[in-house]
Chain A
Amino acid sequence: MQRWIKGFSLMLLVLPITAQAESYTYAALQPRETAQALAPGAWQVGVFNPLRVGLRWFELEIHPLAALVAPHADIKVPIAGDGPEAWQWTAVLGLAVPTPATRMAKPFGFSGDLVPSCKVTAFDPAMAKWCQRPGWMAVPKLGLIGSRQFGHDGKDGFSALTLRAEVAKGIAFSGQAARPLDAWAPVDLQFAPYVGATRGQLRVSYDQLVTTWLRVRGELGGYYTSRADDDPLSIWTGSAYLGVDVATGAHTRLTLGAMVYNLDRHQRKVTTDAEGFAQVDYVRSHEVWPTVDFIWSY
């Protein structure tokens, strides 16, 4: 494991250097998460947002810290579209191997918290039949992003409409098939393929340029998570996001917002009928998550 971490860290350092140097300099704050791949040599990273590096013909995206325990990488490859008035299309290809994270306890992994630690099996391998920890797994991802620019300000400022479709699936090579975590929405959606489920998503966002230093961003999303036939929870989740990006310097921005999820967590609602007896209904849940990040772009 240590050899892997060293090698991976070295790769992260080398990537920006090998990319063609080209400064990330714009008069207006640029939109995020569009089909536009970063120019060769440019890079962007946030406290929570992934590291994005522009290379010769694609963009590489990883979460550096998460990648140490769950090796993964996404690449964005521009495939069609030219000019500010045309739709621009980019393919997303990704691969993750989350198994080390499911084997390690916090703070490096989530064994014993989100997934079983299987201590008895570790002590007595003959008891492995009772262990419900996800096995070794690869998670390929395939997606398509389309963006269209609007409202150019005559320089480099513009608004952007973005459509995103993506499918990720956990393919297990060992261990028992785990079930979706049924955890908090962002955790569940992120980790669904990591426990063997298929996750599909369709999102549409609009990123409005307000001034050169302020953007307002809204997004609607729909998610599908595969479940076993006897699982009573719905496979559908909806989301809505509203937030702002505020430039704090030529190369930095602060992002603030809130994400609302509508999902089925088998929330129980007890009411009383006309006779005064209890009635049970199950209702969909709502979760509100504040979002904040600080992003550097060079």
Chain B
Amino acid sequence: MRPIALLLLFLTTVACEPLADPQDFIREDVPVFKRTTLVPAPDNPAPSKIKVVAWNIKYGAGRIPFWFDCWGDRVQMSSAEVTANMDKIYAAINELDPDVLIAEEIEVNSRRSAYYDMVRGVLEHTKFNYAIYTASWDAKYVASEGVGRIGLGNAIFSKYPIKKAERIRQQDRRDQDALTKMFYIKRAIGRVEIEVRPNTRVAVYGVHTEAYDNDKTKQKQIQQIFDLMQAEKLPAVVGGDFNELPPTAARLLGFMDERETAVCGADYKQPPYTPEIMQQFFDKLVPFIALERYGATELDQKRYFTHTVLGPDEVNEKGEKGFWNRTLDFIFATKGTTWVPGSTDVCQQAGQRIGGDKGIGPVLKSDLVRLSDHAPIIGTWEVP
């Protein structure tokens, strides 16, 4: 292994572009992207109401079965496929019409998504004016299943001006060999300060924690997120794909979208969940959906599931069609702020009214279960 690592190090030094971005920072500013033509943002007098959506968009893959999910073998999409999928995502975003969007698994320059710049795409096809992108996987070539160039990360979009933008490094996995680690995902938290009204800033955090580690990396990443929120001085909201269940989850293992037969190896096998790590978020922050609302049984909680590997057009080994089967995505706000009653929900499917039967709506039209392996989550955040 050492000679290979030395060779790669040598090539890194002689080539003009690093083989993979080592992301050697702890906390640093990142540039802000601006829409080509600004759209007037709505006035937002005190108390400001900010509609927040967090959505893992699975790099515009929709329900194409990619190899690491082990229900298909796709490694690459055509430009036409990505464009068609992204058009549906733009339509869904416009339907939800958030003031702030926290997007995970958004790609800006990946071979598998036909080198499509999704940050620019969302900016130009929705009503957002500003965005930041925080890379978490930036490699010139990933020699695994022909993945090739990868440019994946998180983004935060805002209708209101982003006054400060930064990324905060998270701990890497330590259960991988040096070569794998060099080309693997390196997680970072995005943080922006948004001026929602004159002289009033709020902080928004976008997160996506590790999914496949066996060394408790995810738990450390989640703890770092919690600590940052506790230390935050501005009114703040954090949203994203935590890859963790809520502490009262009725089912902890044996999900219907997991393949029972060993077909693909263990690299992308889900390790056991540790939902107790999420309890502190519900205790010390203001969740967009409280634990009481999730309910106690799997049947109750089903309404708030946010993730399924299998889509409704696929079946598992028992012949069951895929549908949302666990909750992994959350939004939390700092104490002293609130969620507008009837505004928070998991956007699972067309025909659903946002906030439930007595919610503020609207009734969804987009076929959200076919747009990504995660559902968008939504809430209107009220800041005094």
B108 near A: Cβ within 8 Å? yes
Report whether A286 and B15 are in contact in the complex, using a CB–CB cutoff of 8 Å.
Answer: yes
Report whether B16 and A120 are in contact in the complex, using a CB–CB cutoff of 8 Å.
Answer: no
B109 CB contact (under 8 Å) in A116, A179, A266, A277: A266
A116 CB contact (under 8 Å) in B73, B111, B143: B73
Report whether A123 and B17 are in contact in the complex, using a CB–CB cutoff of 8 Å.
Answer: no
Report whether B120 and A116 are in contact in the complex, using a CB–CB cutoff of 8 Å.
Answer: no
Report whether B74 and A182 are in contact in the complex, using a CB–CB cutoff of 8 Å.
Answer: no
B282 near A: Cβ within 8 Å? no
Report whether B31 and A270 are in contact in the complex, using a CB–CB cutoff of 8 Å.
Answer: yes
Contacts of B79 in A (CB 8 A): 230-232
A131 near B: Cβ within 8 Å? yes
A252 near B: Cβ within 8 Å? no
B140 near A: Cβ within 8 Å? yes
The distance in angstroms between the C-alpha atoms of A266 and B115, with both chains bound, is: 8
Contacts of B264 in A (CB 8 A): 119-120
The stretch from A39-47, A107-115, A148-156, A199-207 touching chain B is A107-115
Report whether A120 and B71 are in contact in the complex, using a CB–CB cutoff of 8 Å.
Answer: yes
The distance in angstroms between the C-alpha atoms of A286 and B108, with both chains bound, is: 21
The distance in angstroms between the C-alpha atoms of A280 and B31, with both chains bound, is: 11
Report whether A232 and B114 are in contact in the complex, using a CB–CB cutoff of 8 Å.
Answer: yes
Instruction: Given A112-B144, A182-B149, A278-B31, verify A230-B76 contact (CB < 8 Å).
Output: no
Contacts of B11 in A (CB 8 A): 289
The distance in angstroms between the C-alpha atoms of A17 and B11, with both chains bound, is: 41
Name B264's closest neighbour in chain A (CB-CB): A119
A264-298: CB near B (< 8 Å → 1, else 0) gives 01111010100111101000011111100000000
Contacts of B72 in A (CB 8 A): 120, 127, 130
Count how many chain B residues have C-beta atoms less than 8 Å from C-beta atoms of the other chain.
43
Report whether B73 and A130 are in contact in the complex, using a CB–CB cutoff of 8 Å.
Answer: yes
A73 near B: Cβ within 8 Å? no
Report whether A184 and B74 are in contact in the complex, using a CB–CB cutoff of 8 Å.
Answer: no
Count how many chain A residues have C-beta atoms less than 8 Å from C-beta atoms of the other chain.
44
Contacts of B263 in A (CB 8 A): 119-120, 123
The distance in angstroms between the C-alpha atoms of A60 and B208, with both chains bound, is: 56
Contacts of A121 in B (CB 8 A): 73
A117 near B: Cβ within 8 Å? yes
**In whole Å, how far is A25's beta carbon from the nearest beta carbon of chain B?**
37
Report whether A115 and B140 are in contact in the complex, using a CB–CB cutoff of 8 Å.
Answer: no
Report whether A230 and B114 are in contact in the complex, using a CB–CB cutoff of 8 Å.
Answer: yes
Name B67's closest neighbour in chain A (CB-CB): A116
Q: Which of B4-47 contact A (CB under 8 A)?
A: 10-11, 14-17, 31-34
A66 near B: Cβ within 8 Å? no
Report whether A290 and B14 are in contact in the complex, using a CB–CB cutoff of 8 Å.
Answer: yes
Q: Which of A233-284 contact B (CB under 8 A)?
A: 233, 265-268, 270, 272, 275-278, 280
**In whole Å, how far is B276's beta carbon from the nearest beta carbon of chain A?**
34
Report whether B73 and A132 are in contact in the complex, using a CB–CB cutoff of 8 Å.
Answer: yes
A181 near B: Cβ within 8 Å? yes
Contacts of A65 in B (CB 8 A): none
A287 CB contact (under 8 Å) in B15, B33, B108: B15
Name A106's closest neighbour in chain B (CB-CB): B143
Name B34's closest neighbour in chain A (CB-CB): A277
Name B111's closest neighbour in chain A (CB-CB): A182
Report whether A232 and B31 are in contact in the complex, using a CB–CB cutoff of 8 Å.
Answer: no
A142 near B: Cβ within 8 Å? no
Contacts of B140 in A (CB 8 A): 265, 267, 285
Contacts of B199 in A (CB 8 A): none
A183 near B: Cβ within 8 Å? yes
Instruction: Given A120-B264, A232-B115, verify A130-B74 contact (CB < 8 Å).
Output: yes
The distance in angstroms between the C-alpha atoms of A54 and B264, with both chains bound, is: 47
The distance in angstroms between the C-alpha atoms of A276 and B165, with both chains bound, is: 12
Report whether A184 and B73 are in contact in the complex, using a CB–CB cutoff of 8 Å.
Answer: no
A15 near B: Cβ within 8 Å? no
The distance in angstroms between the C-alpha atoms of A265 and B146, with both chains bound, is: 15
A114-148: CB near B (< 8 Å → 1, else 0) gives 11111111010001001111000000000000000
Report whether B74 and A181 are in contact in the complex, using a CB–CB cutoff of 8 Å.
Answer: no
Report whether B149 and A230 are in contact in the complex, using a CB–CB cutoff of 8 Å.
Answer: no
B90 near A: Cβ within 8 Å? no
The distance in angstroms between the C-alpha atoms of A270 and B265, with both chains bound, is: 37
A183 CB contact (under 8 Å) in B76, B78, B108, B143: B143
Contacts of B67 in A (CB 8 A): 116-120
Report whether B17 and A132 are in contact in the complex, using a CB–CB cutoff of 8 Å.
Answer: no
B182 near A: Cβ within 8 Å? no
**In whole Å, how far is A230's beta carbon from the nearest beta carbon of chain B?**
4
Report whether A288 and B15 are in contact in the complex, using a CB–CB cutoff of 8 Å.
Answer: yes
**In whole Å, how far is A176's beta carbon from the nearest beta carbon of chain B?**
10
The distance in angstroms between the C-alpha atoms of A182 and B2, with both chains bound, is: 26
Report which A residues bind B (CB closer than 8 A).
112-121, 123, 127, 130-133, 178-179, 181-184, 228, 230-233, 265-268, 270, 272, 275-278, 280, 285-290
Between A and B, 23 residue pairs with Cβ closer than 8 Å are A113-B145, A113-B146, A115-B146, A116-B73, A117-B67, A119-B73, A119-B265, A120-B65, A121-B73, A123-B261, A181-B148, A232-B79, A232-B114, A265-B149, A276-B32, A277-B34, A278-B31, A278-B32, A278-B34, A280-B120, A285-B17, A288-B14, A290-B10
Report which B residues bind A (CB closer than 8 A).
10-11, 14-17, 31-34, 64-65, 67, 70-76, 78-80, 108-109, 111, 114-115, 117, 120, 140-141, 143-146, 148-149, 151, 261, 263-265
Q: Apart from A120-B264, A123-B263, what are 15 other A-B pairs with CB-CB below 8 Å?
A: A113-B146, A117-B73, A119-B264, A120-B263, A179-B76, A182-B141, A266-B115, A272-B31, A277-B31, A278-B32, A280-B117, A288-B15, A289-B11, A290-B10, A290-B14
